[in-house]
Structure 1
């Protein structure tokens, strides 16, 4: 890692690596700092991404790192502790004591899924406990699936998963009370509603608090989504509630520009629902805008010097 770069990318997932790739090809010096904790690590493969269908998440990231390095980018293992603004540049401090300066920052650190404390749930996360039908629905097609109600998106999630199976149960668990309309929609689609809270997920199914066992093969759950962004506090960039109610994110405009000048965000850190493809595209968009921002700065300085006759 050098002392200074045009751009430091915080996070080495699809958004961060694609952003770094675009910046490298734009002849920018760029470093990607990655803690090595991809959200999709438990998944068997990446799905719905043209040309990479079924590829393991680890293999996809390895290819991405190789491509970034091909254009001179640096990929650094480490965890960011904080980021500060000093004069006209940013200083990124790592937990191991290293520091690096940058003219611009691209934050693509992803998010953390906060699972409810149901025994047996976390151990199955990413295999038989999933969140996205487009990512995992095909692998669990025609199985006995249970949607665990935990928040405002639960009914929507159940409506989606019904596309992949005729045997769907909606566990009310801690979700808001179902409306008359929602119950009618479930009844019309053959979705069985199981009232009450789940005590544990067992090998055969969901054990309810009253002792009932509801046999299921797979579960869908809407986790509480929280962007990894605590290290931005000193920049005054704080998390905000996402409009969907699904969690907290870094607000940004469609190009990734945040409220702090010189800082862009891309991927799940700002788009909580983004899959791998859209996250990679967002990284590319943010990188292009960062490069343009740097060009504008460099042009203004060139004009200033030109007027001085330098």
Structure 2
């Protein structure tokens, strides 16, 4: 790794809601902070951010643009780039970007998010975030009262179907063949008017307006306005693994939802000097929750730096007092 050409008190890796909120807190605390963002937000395909008080319906790009402007207004630096390596040094960390540039940092806040892994069904990836959805709190209102298909298996299939039933009474569950639902589960779904299709899904079909139906292995097409797919949510955690942290499974009951890096309530990890926030440490976090977590982590990092500065000042003071008199 090259020698650092710049130095910051804090480098934030990832410029989404969590990273920018953390940077804003730090910049307002008069810390020198650099945000390095690869510009690959998870919610980029979505038309709007929902459940974010004061910014309801704002596009993801608009929300992040506001955040960058706010961070920069307090002296924070926001740059586009991809961090490829993090290394611990004697007095902090070095951060290397894909273009070969290297900066130094006393503390790190990593908010690299996650990647949604979809089943290998034609049509899902093409319409992800528009007609192929995963979160009813993010998208349920927009497809209220419309026909919705849930493509899932196991306990999560029943949970997702019942949850989406809150927004529409036209829910069809496409259960995976060979993973039949127990009698009580079918009864519960039937009691809520949810149709179960046991034939394998071959593709998601679309017309000029978007998703239009789910085609099954017998050739039939069930008309739907949207398809719900519980994804496997894999944290972007390799940089943290390189610093010695472990990736663990995050579960809902016995169902493995994805992977994450564990952290304390303020975002501190087991690696000294390293904090995390957002989906890299909690796969279920929505945008407003990620922003809140980033703010908490930023405040915790500032407090940590304050304590370290006080200790250094105390040591310097003791050195002066103990110096021999000539």
**TM-score, normalized by length of structure 2?**
0.92
Query: What is aligned with 1:235?
Result: 243
**Would the alpha carbon gap of residues 256 and 305 (structure 1) be closer, same or farther in structure 2, given more than 3 Å must change?**
same
Counterpart secondary structure, 2:233: strand
Residue 262 (structure 2) pairs with residue 251 (structure 1):
yes
The Cα shift of 1:175 comes to 9.1
Choose the corresponding residue for 1:9, options 12, 20, 25. Answer: 12
> Which residue in 2 is equivalent to 1:296?
307
Q: Deviations over 1:62-116 (max 9, x none)?
A: 0000000001100011001111101121111111111111111101111111111
Alpha-carbon distance, 1:151 to partner: 5.7
- Answering whether residue 275 of structure 2 is matched by residue 264 of structure 1, we say yes
Deviation at 1:178, TM superposition (A): 2.3
Q: Is the 8 A contact 2:267 2:275 kept in 1?
A: yes
The 1:34/1:150 distance shift into structure 2, 3 A limit, reads farther
Deviation at 1:230, TM superposition (A): 1.3
CA contact (8 A) 2:5 2:102 kept: no
Tell me which of 67, 72, 89 is aligned to 2:70: 67
Deviations 1:18-60 (A, max 9, x none): 0000000001100000000111111111111111111111011
- Bigger shift: residues 80-89 or 7-16: 80-89
CA-based RMSD of the aligned residues comes to 1.6
- Cα deviation digits, residues 259-306 of structure 1 (max 9, x gap): 111111101111101111111000000111111111111111111111
Partner of 1:100: 103
Supply the distance in 2 between the matched residues of 1:302 and 1:84 (Cα, whole angstroms): 27
Counterpart position of 1:206: 214
Note the 1:4-153 alignment, pairs <5 A. Answer: 4-150=7-153, 152-153=155-156
Would the aligned equivalents of 1:110 and 1:228 in 2 still touch at CA under 8 Å? Answer: yes
The answer as to whether partners of 2:158 and 2:189 remain within 8 angstroms in 1 is no
**How many angstroms does 1:117 deviate by?**
1.1
> C-alpha distance in 1, partners of 2:39/2:123?
25
Aligned to 2:230: 222
Once residues 184 and 218 of structure 2 are traced to their aligned partners in structure 1, the CA distance between those partners, rounded to angstroms, is 27
| 2: CA distance, partners of 1:80 / 1:213 | 45
Name whichever of 136-145 and 239-248 sits farther off.
239-248
Q: For the structure 1 residues 238 and 177, does the alpha-carbon distance in structure 2 shift closer, same or farther, using more than 3 Å as the test?
A: farther
The alpha-carbon deviation at position 179 of structure 1 amounts to: 2.8
Gaps of 5+ in 1: none
Relative distance call for 1:170 and 1:114 in structure 2 (3 A) is same
Please give the per-residue CA displacement for 1:196-255, whole angstroms capped at 9, x wherever unaligned: 321111124111122222221111111110111212232112321113311111111111
Unaligned runs of 5+ in 2: 207-211, 322-326
Work out whether residues 152 and 176 of structure 1, in 8 Å CA contact, stay in contact via their aligned partners in 2: no
Deviations 1:128-181 (A, max 9, x none): 111110110010001000111046533222111000001101111279542333
Query: 2-side partners of 1:21 and 1:170: how far apart?
Result: 43
Partner of 1:188: 191
Flag the structure with larger Rg: 2
Cα distance in 2 for residues equivalent to 1:205 and 1:243: 31
Q: Give the ranges of 4+ consecutive aligned residues of structure 1 lying more than 3 Å apart after TM superposition.
A: 174-177
Normalised by the size of structure 1, how large is the TM-score?
A: 0.96
Question: How far apart, in 2, do the equivalents of 1:121 and 1:61 lie?
Answer: 26
